[in-house]
Chains A and B, each alone.
Chain A
Amino acid sequence: MNKVFSRTKGLTDVPFSFCPGCTHGIIMRLIAEVLEELNIIEDTIGISPVGCAGFSQDFFSCDFVGAAHGRAQAVGIGVKRALPDKVVFTYQGDGDIAAIGTQHAIHTAARGEKITSIMVNNAIFGMTGGQMAPTTLEGMKTSTSPYGRNIAVNGYPIDLPRIVANLEGAAYVASVSVDSPKNIIQAKKAIKKAFQVQLAGLGFAFVSVLSTCPTNWGMTPSDSLKWLRENMMPVYQMGELKVTEEAKSL
């Protein structure tokens, strides 16, 4: 009998520890499949951040370095500059890359650092228990915006891919979602492209993946996916935001 589905070699056999309905597991699996398909597991160094995404260091089967909150890209650049022939990717939450680590997000793109960054955007700080993130939507209730995000006080959510796409050194920028089988396939294509761009040495590659946090949103997993579609997708520009000519030809 033909085996039609199995565990990807890009993941270890450590079981995911995420809450029910969280989409971190899907996103990690997609990345792991890409590493396997491109045959780069043994040549890849992943950088884990602080937050739920930090557990990535246990789940991927490649070498990993744990960074401080927000610093994954700086750490990744240190690794890549030392080992330019290796593949380096960072796996970061929105709180990590779009708040405390914003300066690195901007300058990593501006310098065209040849690394791949994956941002998992669930519009909230998950691990610390559901506080407002830079990506929290207007009116959205969190433990630090209990009356809903008030624009007058907290300002607007930040759409990091749109900013990064404007920077010359960014070769590939996409914003995807894993809320449906169709979108999961799209997301995997974008993630694969982001690694191919690095392998071709074209510049910085950045993929934002919209994700759910049923626990801290206070919703069922299926309601969370519906809420993501109805509320996050209209705010965050979706699709490929930037593909350089060279990246297109890959």
Chain B
Amino acid sequence: MEKVLMKGNEIIGEAAIRSGCKLFFGYPITPSTEVIEYLSKHFPQHGGTVLQAEDEIGAIYMCYGAACTGTRVMTASSSPGISLKQEGISYSAAVELPMVIVNVNRCGPGLGGLGPAQSDYFQSTKGGGHGDYRVIVLAPSKAQELYDFTMEAFDIADKYRNPVLILSDGFLGQTMEPVILKDRPQVPEFDKSWVIGGCKDREKRVLASYSLTNEIGEANNLRWEEKYKEIQEKEQRWEEFFTEDAEYLLVSYGTTGRICKSTVINARKKGIKLGLIRPITLWPFPDKAFVPYKDKVKGVVTVELNTGQMIEDVKLAVECKMPVHLYRRQGGMLPTENEILSYVKDTFGLSEAEEV
């Protein structure tokens, strides 16, 4: 297993190649462009094809078409581009197509800027496009997770026949870090009895999401709902950091989740019993992570790069049993570990003990 120094976006490209992805349809947009650039350079040698589409809409529907054949397919973009893809993501969820979509979140709304943000949390976790559907959302916080989660994303997508979104950001995408290029783990064969590709020796198949009969429409919704409930039951993932004896909890994912680890270490040095829950799946949101702490901790701070989006899920997860506050930076800015700690201390009226 090689350990190499790579840029975040390139790591996603390399992981896709090693996951057996064969097709990439995309459109350049900063700060995600290195994904399509890396694959344009390296995909052909591995039997893959990169097609630069006429627009983001074309790219997502090409993914849709390729996914209908059971071929592993990926697209990558950044916030405004992901907005354009939402219609196609809705259709892909409805036809239950496995595909991996990468959003290298930049700040918005509108054209916004190129800096890192978590402003697409709602869009990513609550459906995003029209209709009532969910995509599975993985939130990496470092190079190795960009690699590992991309690889896993293809398997999870196949397992549940559902689009999987990797929610990265402008910081992770542009940062160079060491990464171990692990081999692809053995995965079970996935059921492909639903794919289209010519009806030789079988009945014709139609993959579509059209139903003009309300009774059929409701039956479809109930079927999808059942799948989403199964995913919520089985796929919640999170990391805990100094939570066991924590009196206060930070909750943060991705880039800020990583910064919060330093905040926790600094707090502990000052005798403050601070812990961190770092959601890894944003949908399904890891409600289970909060169960042991609901009646224990005195207060929670979510740290986000938006006006407070994940905080709503955290409040639901802790059933509002304790105060839940928000510390946020926006517009491409990142917080330092110390400003987060100052906020925690000020909010809960904590005083520092001696350095321990």
Q: A residues within 8 Å of B by Cβ?
A: 12, 41-45, 47-48, 54, 57-58, 60-68, 71, 74-83, 86, 103-104, 106-107
Contact = CB atoms under 8 A, between A and B. Distances in A.
B88 A81 contact: no
A66 B62 contact: no
B61 A74 contact: yes
A65 B196 contact: yes
Given A74-B57, A104-B58, A82 B210 contact: no
Contact of A57 (B51, B69, B208): B208
Contacts of B58: 71, 74, 77, 103-104, 107
A171 B65 CA distance: 23
A66 B209 contact: yes
A74 B68 contact: no
B202 to A, nearest CB: 9
Interface string B319-345: 000000000000000000000000000
Interface string B191-204: 00000111110001
Contact of A43 (B23, B51, B200, B205): B200
Nearest to B22: A82
B65 A79 contact: yes
Contacts of B63: 78
Interface string B18-61: 00001101000000000000000000000001010111011101
B65 A68 contact: no
A14 to B, nearest CB: 11
Nearest to A43: B198
A76 B67 CA distance: 11
Contact of A63 (B53, B55, B87, B206): B206
27 contacts: A42-B200, A47-B65, A57-B208, A57-B210, A62-B199, A65-B206, A68-B87, A71-B58, A74-B57, A74-B62, A74-B64, A75-B61, A75-B68, A77-B51, A78-B25, A78-B65, A78-B68, A78-B73, A80-B65, A81-B51, A82-B22, A82-B71, A83-B197, A83-B198, A103-B58, A106-B54, A107-B54
A81 B43 CA distance: 14
Contact of B208 (A65, A80, A86): A65
B207 A41 contact: no
Contacts of A12: 204
Q: Which size class do B's interface residues fall under?
A: 35 or more
Interface of B: 22-23, 25, 49, 51, 53-55, 57-59, 61-69, 71, 73, 87-88, 91, 95, 196-200, 204-210
A83 B196 CA distance: 10
Nearest to B69: A82
Given A65-B208, A82-B65, A74 B198 contact: no
Contacts of B196: 45, 63-65, 79
Contacts of B71: 82-83
A45 B61 CA distance: 15
B61 A63 contact: no
Nearest to A66: B208
B110 to A, nearest CB: 22
A42 B69 contact: no
Contacts of B67: 78
A78 to B, nearest CB: 2
B168 to A, nearest CB: 24
A86 B206 contact: no
Nearest 7 CB-CB pairings of A with B: A78-B65, A66-B208, A74-B61, A107-B54, A78-B62, A75-B65, A78-B66
Contact of B66 (A61, A62, A66, A81): A81
B177 to A, nearest CB: 33
A12 B206 CA distance: 13
Contacts of A68: 61, 87-88, 91
Contacts of B197: 45, 63, 83, 86
B209 to A, nearest CB: 7
A74 B207 contact: no
Contact of B61 (A67, A81, A83): A67
A62 B204 contact: yes
B62 A41 contact: no
Nearest to B70: A82
Contacts of B49: 81
A106 B58 CA distance: 12
B73 A63 contact: no
B62 A83 contact: no
A86 B200 CA distance: 12
A21 B204 CA distance: 28
Contacts of A43: 198, 200
B208 A81 contact: no
A169 to B, nearest CB: 13
A58 B205 CA distance: 10
B208 A79 contact: no
Given A63-B197, A66-B208, A78-B62, 19 more contacts: A42-B200, A47-B65, A61-B199, A63-B205, A63-B206, A64-B204, A65-B64, A65-B68, A65-B208, A66-B95, A74-B64, A75-B61, A78-B61, A78-B68, A83-B71, A83-B197, A103-B58, A104-B58, A107-B58
A63 B199 contact: yes
A67 B71 CA distance: 18
Contacts of B95: 66
B53 A54 contact: no
A44 to B, nearest CB: 7
